[in-house]
Amino acid sequence: MDQEFMKKALTLAKKGSGLTSPNPLVGAVIVKRGKIIGRGYHKKAGQDHAEIVAIKDALKNKNSLKGTTLYCTLEPCCHSGKTGPCANEIVRFGMKKVFFSHVDPFGKVNGKGEKFLRKNGVEVFKGLLEPEARALNQPFLKVNKTGLPFVTLKAGISLDGKIATRAGKSEWITNSLSRSHGKELRDKYDAIVVGANTIVIDNPVLACKKGRLLRVIMDGKLKIDKKSKVFRDDDVVVITTSLATKKKINKFEKAGIKVVKIGSKKIDIKRMLRFLNKNYGVQSVFVEGGGETNGSFVDASMVDDVYFYISPEIIGGRDAVSVVGGLGALNLKKSLKLKNVDVEKLKDDILVHGIVNNY
């Protein structure tokens, strides 16, 4: 039954997808005599953590929490931030056992919550459904381990790996279901990255349903139009290089557009990702650019997972745009390898999702 209760906590955690950053997705259930009496999940950064929501849920039905068991997808915290320490409340209400999936890598917790609970007489069991719980919070785990955001590469392509014809036409390669699925996926990320050509050719809005999404434009020479639709508000930054003239940069800055140089002749992808995390708190990046943008991330070994929506059509042509440009691998040993690959049909299209790195 322990696994079943933790599965319910994991299901609850997923409800906060796209809304909790920079905090992780966390779910919790409280069990008394084999029955769930409290449920909760972290809904948004700054709001109650999952454990507290579950405690309040149990209390509203006048349940006593003494002797109960908590199942939580992450180690309960023991520090005060925007909310109070969950571990203290677990002890205060006399809960007897705590099962959590894995240790919270955040420096102010990282085993201290577990230690506090044990010290105060709570039985603690860790590791229950750990792989499933870690899979929910790859961005949070990667940032705490490396200081770099988690990067997803997404593209809609033809069967022969093209994203546009030799004339640059790309609307639409994939079907409406694939495009809707991709937009829903975008909502889960902190930032979207596209290249200058995407702005010049498509002039996209790059919107999302959740409201705020940092739009990052990679433009080494500042060739985009500062009146493009993407500059509809302040949630945008242009990353350029030393190839961009001071005059061009000044024009963008006078228009209220943030421009940052990261690299001399080409944008340094790793430095850019570190900058986005440090200056904007970005933990997850959705790369939805053209072939050269995609290639720059692949060449830099900065891709963590891949979503390719494949249309059953062949465009052909050596000059048609390929999904991944850049330098590419010299030999197959150096190619980007996907694991844990899932394949899903979206009408006639096929969605292929694979993991590159686990954290």
Q: Which residues pair with 28 in a beta bridge?
A: 40, 72
Catalytic residue among 4, 51, 123, 184: 51
- At CA 217, angle to CA 155 and CA 136, rounded to 5? 55
Of 241, 304, 297, give the one whose Cα is nearest residue 269: 297
Q: Residue type for 262, please?
A: I
DSSP H helices in the chain: 2-13, 50-60, 86-92, 112-119, 130-136, 138-146, 176-186, 196-202, 246-254, 269-280, 291-299
Strand duo 305-311 + 349-355: pairing: antiparallel
DSSP per-residue letters across 118-165: HHTT-EEEE-TTHHHHHHHTHHHHHHHHHSS-EEEEEEEEETTSEEE-
Residue 204 preceded by cis peptide, ω within 30: no
Backbone dihedral region for residue 46 (phi beyond 0: left; psi -120 to 50: alpha; all else: beta): left
The C-alpha atoms of residue 64 and residue 61 are separated, in whole angstroms, by 9
Query: What is the distance between the alpha carbons of residues 128 and 125, in angstroms, rounded to a whole number?
Result: 8
Tokens of 147: 């200081």
- Tell me, yes or no, if 344 is annotated catalytic: no
Among candidate residues 32, 10, 13, the one with its CA nearest the CA of residue 128:
10
Query: Is the distance from CB of 30 to CB of 68 less than 8 angstroms?
Result: yes
Q: How far apart are CA 109 and CA 26, in angstroms?
A: 15
Task: State the catalytic residues.
Answer: 51
